[in-house]
Structure 1
């Protein structure tokens, strides 16, 4: 079921898969606002790595859920943090939206997450374990999956825009 209001499209996927970069380009193509829920949390509560360190993952996930619930009500391109799909309420909400999953290979992850401050995916092995655990949720929630490993983000965004156009026919 596709929602007549709220988010134009929601982009989910593993950390480092390009959700924010593709979302920015897609928002520009669609002339729509972009809401990156990680950025919303950071703006309101501070850096994610600090929230994890100071208050723990559960606290962060509660703040993330609030940001996601608000974002899904907006007529915007919405990008979710990699773990947002762990929340049952978020998964229920996503059932009424167009959801795109971005993926990438472990080799690409090794390059993209090197030196990052991601609290749960500091290296490619941690990333791979995390993705293996979350992949069934990503797959269940998404109607379109795009591997960004070797694809320029402009092309990823164009593919999503084309898919959205085909959904309106």
Structure 2
């Protein structure tokens, strides 16, 4: 029996290799895109920053209480765990700083979500992100530029989220990941 529009085959998730991993700077839309992508492909969504918060408390408090090196060790542990799951995984912006994480990403479906400074400014306003608390948008630009080569190293697909709808971004990632299957 042929598939009919709106029938069971139309709503079935497209098979894609998992995990699909989203990397990029803070404010690029990794959590938002990741959640929608996971729904689209019928997979769980893992936000590693959220998992850290659930286990250790707010990230800004971890930075204040324990420092960045402690946070990065916790982050590495959570990321290594998440990358073993059949899920859509959103990594914190600095997760790619760890060489072991970059090695773990080799061969996986990794998408680098880019965003312009103009587009990210309203997304960051009023936030509690510890690395840009002092320095604002200028600090964000420096961090993004420092990490750019690491994102490029691990990513198989790059998408600019500055002026594109989440639905369009999800469709592009799904098509790319499906072609990898």
Q: Where in structure 2 are there 5+ consecutive unaligned residues?
A: 1-16
Q: CA deviation at 1:7?
A: 4.0
TM-score, normalised to structure 1, is 0.94
* Counterpart check, 1:164 vs 2:177: yes
Q: CA deviation at 1:152?
A: 1.2
Q: CA deviation at 1:121?
A: 2.4
Matches within 5 A, 1:103-142: 103-122=114-133, 123-142=136-155
Q: Could you give the per-residue CA deviations for residues 117-141 of structure 1, whole angstroms, max 9, x where no partner exists? A: 1111242111100001000000111
Q: Where in structure 1 are there 5+ consecutive unaligned residues?
A: 1-5
How far, CA to CA, are the matches of 1:22 and 1:45 in structure 2?
A: 24
Paired residue secondary structure (1:101) = strand
Q: Closer, same or farther in 2 for the Cα pair 1:139/1:24, shift >3 Å? A: same
Q: Could you give the per-residue CA deviations for residues 95-126 of structure 1, whole angstroms, max 9, x where no partner exists? A: 13110000010101111111111111242111
Matched length: 163
Task: Choose which of 8, 18, 23 in structure 2 pairs with 1:12.
Answer: 23
RMSD over aligned Cα atoms: 1.1
Task: Answer yes or no: is the 8 Å Cα contact 1:7–1:78 preserved in 2.
Answer: no
Return the index of the structure with the highest Cα Rg. 2
Q: Could you give the per-residue CA deviations for residues 4-63 of structure 1, whole angstroms, max 9, x where no partner exists? A: xx9421000000000000000000000100011001100000000000011000010011
How far, CA to CA, are the matches of 2:22 and 2:108 in structure 1?
A: 10
TM-score, normalised to structure 2, is 0.88
2:166 matched residue in structure 1: 153
